[in-house]
Structure 1
Amino acid sequence: MNIIQATSEHLNHLVPLFNGYRVFYRQESNKTAVKTFLKERLTKKDSVIYLAYINETPVGFTQLYFLYSSVSMKPMFILNDLYIDKNYRGKSIGASLINKAKDLCRQKQYKGIIIQTENTNPAQHLYQREGFVKDTDLTFFWTNK
């Protein structure tokens, strides 16, 4: 397995994975919108996307966004997206992507990583195995409708 930080050159490898990720979360498939969204993230550099390959086949990705803690006055990441192609699950790809994100966090001396996911997501076991702890302080959300 090889994990790289994605650039605009990897856009065509990311689109099917990100589209699959959205479909997993019950969104309609829309590869055109996905491509536009990812191109903007990569161009503006407002996120870090790691892309996992096995034998030159893109098999998974994670996307980290930047946040700041006012109390600690330190930056941190939110791991908002993690997806592994269903044909490659159970091969430690998710753990490898998470560890790549942790390495970046350590390298930049950020406070830590927050993961946002549904309560029913089976990947919660993976997150706990990788040292993440449920945080009861993050319990409110407002939606602009």
Structure 2
Amino acid sequence: MTEIIKIIEAGVEDIDQIAPLFDCYRQFYKQPEDLELAKSYITERLKTGTAIIFLARDEHNNALGFTQLYKSYCSIDVKPIWILYDLFVVSSARKKGVGKALMDRALLLAKETGAARIDLETAYDNSNAQALYESLGYQRDDEYYKYSLEL
């Protein structure tokens, strides 16, 4: 790792750094470029407190990546859980510990809030993310099927 990585809990004042990252994240998943939509969505999450976003910055305060988590609950464990929904690192900062630093901060949040676990999903072909998650102890769920209903 050649850069000093700082992880902060983002606020509305960080929108201009997060929104371009979020827009790139969505483009990775084949969504059209739409910076205004990204700004609007992230602003709403932060203003309403419906998400926690951690932002990674280098020593010059340049944004390197982010992760976005949503709190949920597990009726079986009778505890909160965190859904790690988004993780994105700019291409120039990949393989330098940024993703791991963001994941470590998410884990700290989960522990601080007494959560039972962190759940996440990734695309079948996203082998880089899968390798990161597995290196941190995450295990692929072979017990449950995931279902969705498009509206």
TM normalised by structure 2 equals 0.93
Aligned positions, number: 145
Q: Which residue of 2 aligns with 1:20?
A: 24
Superposed CA deviations along residues 14-44 of structure 1, whole A, max 9, x for unmatched, are 0110001011111100001111100000001
Q: Which residue of 2 aligns with 1:81?
A: 86
Deviating above 6 A after TM superposition, structure 1's stretches of 4 or more consecutive aligned residues are: none
| Counterpart pick for 2:39 among 27, 32, 35 | 35
One-letter amino acid of the counterpart of residue 135, structure 2: R
For residue 106 of structure 2, give the secondary structure of its aligned residue in structure 1.
helix
Whether 1:5 aligns to 2:19 is no
Give the deviation of 1:144 after TM superposition: 2.0
| Counterpart pick for 1:141 among 129, 141, 147 | 147
Q: Return the alpha-carbon distance in structure 2 between the equivalents of residues 24 and 143 of structure 1.
A: 23
One-letter amino acid of the counterpart of residue 30, structure 2: R
| Counterpart pick for 2:134 among 114, 128, 132 | 128
One-letter amino acid of the counterpart of residue 32, structure 1: E
Q: Return the alpha-carbon distance in structure 2 between the equivalents of residues 59 and 140 of structure 1.
A: 31
| Counterpart pick for 1:44 among 28, 41, 48 | 48
Structure 2 unaligned spans of 5+: none
- The RMSD of aligned alpha carbons is 0.9
Superposed CA deviations along residues 46-95 of structure 1, whole A, max 9, x for unmatched, are 11000000121001000001111011111000101000001110101000
Whether 1:67 aligns to 2:68 is no
Structure 1 unaligned spans of 5+: none
TM normalised by structure 1 equals 0.97
Identity %: 33
